[in-house]
Structure 1
Amino acid sequence: MRLVVPVVFVGCLAAAPGRTQSLDDRYWIEASVMWADLDTRGDFRLPKAPEGGQIDFEGDLGMDDRETLGAISGGYRYSERLTFGADIYRLDRSSTEVLKRDIPFEIVTFPATATIDSNFRSDIYRFTVGYSLIRREDLEAGVAVGLHATDFNIELAGRGQVGPVKVDQVVRRRAFLAPLPTVGAFGVWRPTPKVTFNGRADYLSLSLGDYHGGVLNMQAAAAYAVSDRVDLGVMYRFVDYDLSIEKRRWAGGLRYQFSGPAVFLRASF
């Protein structure tokens, strides 16, 4: 897994159980908009079959490699040191492309020159529990455990070939939920009453049921209090999946990475 992470994360301690929690908030909810750069590659084949060839969703299928991504997150400080947090966000892309090479997908091959309609959707759910090892008036840092679950839906449709048989219109779909536990760390620093910096990092690489591989999720943020209960801020997020999948009826792999800057508005109470 490539750790291509901006230096800004180092200065922000690395991880927070909610997204941009403040040191005094009991509850908070946040809406953000991210401008994401994307890199998506997959391989889908029958079980026990050799790798059939990787699909580059941006290069081969013509999907946009930049998208605007909205997200909602929130958190709850249960006690002085224990915090719960959650994120929900979706990325949904579609394209129509004339193929420049043959694209294998399980038993189907979509041939070069065929016009293919494709869709790639990911719904991401992140839950964490954080415990503060350091807790001061202007500084907080600790560790976190959580779950990073992603619901993937992938579809290709167009002229294809199954063995020697040519089919004018064939549709192949794959949907799967990849639940990956994570461990991480977080930090929050408030140098002035109106300015807060924070960061987080969640990571784990393991085998769990049908899935092998891991996920890295990192973020750094800066917020300014425009009122007692509302903060406006900027952040940078980096997410990297590297999965191999072995199910009863199909197998494959997925490399999915997105990163970019974002703006957010947070309300606390």
Structure 2
Amino acid sequence: MAGSPAGGHANQGDVVNKTIAGVGLALLACCTGLHADEVGALDRWNVAVGGYALNLDARLRVDGDLRGHEFDLSGDLGLDRNRDVGLFSLGWRPFERHQFDMSHYRDELSNTRILDRQITVDDETFTIGARLDSRFDNEVYDFTYTWWLQAAPRQAFGLNVGLVGYLIDLDLRAESTASGVVIERSASASVDLPAPKIGVSYRRAFGDGWRFTASGSTFETSVGDIDARVLDARAGIEYYPFSRAGVRLQYSINRINAELDDPDFHGRARLGFSGLQLQLVGRF
């Protein structure tokens, strides 16, 4: 059976993002009626768990001895580009102007469809009309250090440097029939893709438990067998009706464009992760 049309995925993603936005705003509105404690621009510790209405825009090219075809995971393989995934975040500021943050999310996608165009992956050609089983696993880690140039009680501005780690694993298996003969083909590729970044961070506490957060970073580099350009940005609001607990609603964008010469993945990866994030936050 063919996969769902890409347009259906887009509509589903809009619904998911609107749902998360609605739930987040409803939680913020409900909490607003509670007595809110004062919150500063920065925390010593914070831990957050929640969900990410992830929109995945991914195009890959896997070369063998010959150059392969670039293919779209949604348009060509029929993989769902809009998913709800779990999101975990942790922040630690051991000194007044020095902060460490990390976040993590992962997803596993699979689909079966009839190919409507020919693609070549790692010297294996998957022909039009073949029944293709595809699986794509992705995992993203983000580690960031921030040096707060300004660390006032209600406002903070700093420079950040960090590393985004992408773990991707692709597996394709196809079956087609020619002159009554069943032909099976398979291809796979996996890579651990690290990408450094550098940028700026900003925090602003408005009183009554409200806080605005934003950060943006980018970098272009060549590390080992990888040439990559990364963009990472997010902005959101937090509300703390209690001294130690609150809600975070933010929008996040992360993109990487990489040329790879890895033994397990020779080619190109263009990945885009974006969407609304809703988390419950504990602060200390």
Q: TM-score, normalised by structure 2?
A: 0.81
Q: Partner of 2:70 in structure 1? A: 54
* Paired residue type of 1:41: R
* 1:162-241 superposed matches below 5 A: 168-241=183-256
* Paired residue type of 2:242: S
The CA distance in 1 between the partners of 2:264 and 2:164, in whole Å, is: 24
Contact (CA 8 Å) 2:47, 2:91: kept in 1 or not? yes
The CA distance in 1 between the partners of 2:40 and 2:276, in whole Å, is: 20
* Paired residue type of 1:179: P
* Paired residue type of 2:225: D
Contact (CA 8 Å) 1:46, 1:249: kept in 2 or not? no
Does 2:96 align with 1:80? yes
Q: Structure 1: where are the runs of 5+ without partners? A: 1-20
2:47 equivalent among 29, 37, 43: 29
Please give the secondary structure, in 2, of the residue aligned with 1:227.
coil
The CA distance in 1 between the partners of 2:276 and 2:42, in whole Å, is: 26
Does 2:150 align with 1:141? no
Q: Structure 2: where are the runs of 5+ without partners? A: 1-38
Does 2:136 align with 1:123? no
CA deviation vs aligned residue, 1:174-223 (integer Å, no higher than 9, x gap): 11100111111100000114000001112111111111121111100101
The CA distance in 1 between the partners of 2:146 and 2:265, in whole Å, is: 37
Change (3 A) 1:22 1:237: farther
Change (3 A) 1:128 1:24: closer
Q: Partner of 1:4 in structure 2? A: none
* Paired residue type of 1:226: P
Q: Partner of 1:247 in structure 2? A: 262
The Cα of 1:46 is off from its aligned counterpart by 1.7
Contact (CA 8 Å) 1:102, 1:111: kept in 2 or not? yes
Q: Partner of 1:113 in structure 2? A: 129
The Cα of 1:22 is off from its aligned counterpart by 5.8
* Paired residue type of 2:113: E
Which range is displaced more, 208-217 or 24-33? Answer: 24-33
The Cα of 1:52 is off from its aligned counterpart by 2.4
Please give the secondary structure, in 1, of the residue aligned with 2:79.
coil
Please give the secondary structure, in 1, of the residue aligned with 2:113.
strand
Please give the secondary structure, in 1, of the residue aligned with 2:220.
strand
Q: Partner of 1:262 in structure 2? A: 277
Does 2:102 align with 1:91? no
Contact (CA 8 Å) 1:142, 1:185: kept in 2 or not? yes
Please give the secondary structure, in 2, of the residue aligned with 1:78.
strand
The CA distance in 2 between the partners of 1:73 and 1:122, in whole Å, is: 17
The CA distance in 2 between the partners of 1:185 and 1:200, in whole Å, is: 6
* Paired residue type of 1:264: Q
Does 2:166 align with 1:156? no
Identity %: 26
The CA distance in 1 between the partners of 2:41 and 2:215, in whole Å, is: 15
From the two aligned structures, give the one with the greater helix fraction. 2
The Cα of 1:250 is off from its aligned counterpart by 5.2
Change (3 A) 1:169 1:226: farther
Contact (CA 8 Å) 2:46, 2:90: kept in 1 or not? yes
The CA distance in 2 between the partners of 1:92 and 1:201, in whole Å, is: 27
* Paired residue type of 2:59: R
Q: Partner of 2:3 in structure 1? A: none
Change (3 A) 1:170 1:249: same
The CA distance in 1 between the partners of 2:182 and 2:201, in whole Å, is: 53
**Which contiguous aligned blocks of 4+ residues in structure 1 show a shift greater than 4 angstroms?**
none
The CA distance in 2 between the partners of 1:43 and 1:184, in whole Å, is: 29
> What is the aligned-residue RMSD (CA, Å)?
1.9
* Paired residue type of 2:201: F
2:60 equivalent among 34, 42, 53: 42
* Paired residue type of 2:141: Y
The Cα of 1:258 is off from its aligned counterpart by 2.1
The CA distance in 2 between the partners of 1:248 and 1:118, in whole Å, is: 21
Change (3 A) 1:247 1:233: closer
The CA distance in 2 between the partners of 1:258 and 1:167, in whole Å, is: 38
The Cα of 1:154 is off from its aligned counterpart by 0.7
